[in-house]
Amino acid sequence: MKKVAVTIDDLVFNWGDHTPCLSIPKFELYCGEKVFIKGPSGSGKSTLLNMLGGVLLPETGGIRVLEHDYSTMRASQLDRFRADHIGFIFQQFNLLPFLSLLDNVCLPCRFSAKRRARAIEEFGSVEQGAEALLARLGLAEASLYQKDVAALSVGQQQRVSAARAILGAPEIIIADEPTSALDTELRDQFLALLLSQCELSGSTLIFVSHDSSLEHHFSQRAQLMPSANGGYSL
């Protein structure tokens, strides 16, 4: 039987002024699945991702991730859970400018003992894991490691953040428009790499974008639709 990765029930999220923003009556995702969530800008994509990451809490309704009910967890537990089980890739400028490329990739393993242990188990050490993943993502040259991350191209930066999200094999990877700053060719290349790496590590991928031309890469799709009350629903 397949393990459930994410379950959302009767979720409603309001911003402070009680105008409904996002409602999700039912959403379910199994481990290892890759879902494409499409939504125009302002439809609450980031809100959804922040809720999945346990940073924002819904008004009503429940989120269960890997059989953990967020509503029963304290903020510090959520922080730890996120660090251990979820990897993130953002739109752009994902990297800390003051850390080296390698340090950026290793960062999650510094905050999560679980991911550190898994990286060591898989690659021998966190640094070796980072180098191996960078190599798989086509960033093998050691000369890059010493470079200022700001000097990397956007495509390279996104690949570095993908390596960072994957290192330590978190069960869930959340990508928030990671390709929006890339041109078409790089975009397809990046997406193919990301999907194959998730396959390799068995991670569940939640990919959010407004760009419907990416849909065909995914077996599962969902869409944030405008709802009658002025908000959006999934």
Partner 1 sequence: MTLLHLAWKSFLNRKGTLLMMLLSISMSVVLLLGVDIIRQQAKEGFSSTVSSTDLIVGARSGQINLLLYSVFHIGNATNNIRWKSYEAISQDASVKWSIPLSLGDSHRGFRVLGTSSAYFQHYRYGAKQRLSFSQGQAFDGLFDVVIGSEVAKQLGYRLGSSVVIAHGMGNASLMKHDDKPFKVVGILQATGTPVDKTLIVSLAAIEAIHVDWKSGVQLPGSKVTPEQVLNMDLEPKQITAFMLGLNSRLSTFHLQRKINQYRNEPLMAILPGLALQELWGMFSFVEKTLFAISALVVVSGVLGLLALLLSSLHERRREMAILRSVGARPIHILTLLILESLLVTVLSVALGVGVLYLVMLYAGTLIQDQFGVRLVIQSLNLWQWQLIAMVVAAGALAGLVPGYRAYRYSLADGMSIKL
The residue ranges that bind partner 1 (CB under 8 A) are 46, 49-50, 53, 55-56, 75-76, 79-80, 82-84, 88, 90-91, 93-99, 103, 107-108, 110-112, 164
- The nearer residue to partner 1, 34 or 116, going by C-beta atoms, is 116
- The nearer residue to partner 1, 19 or 77, going by C-beta atoms, is 77
Shortest Å distance, C-beta 121 to partner 1 = 18
Shortest Å distance, C-beta 36 to partner 1 = 20
> DSSP characters for 195-222?
HHHHHHHT-EEEEEES-GGGGGG-SEEE
Considering only CA atoms, which of 135, 119, 118 is closest in space to residue 127? 119
- The nearer residue to partner 1, 7 or 46, going by C-beta atoms, is 46
The torsion defined by the Cα of 50, 55, 60 and 65, in degrees rounded to 10, comes to 80
- The nearer residue to partner 1, 73 or 107, going by C-beta atoms, is 107
Shortest Å distance, C-beta 18 to partner 1 = 18
Both tokens of 180, joined, read: 């929006």
CA distances for 134 relative to 87, 127, 164, 166, angstroms: 16, 10, 9, 10
Tokens 């990897």 correspond to what residue? 87
Shortest Å distance, C-beta 216 to partner 1 = 28
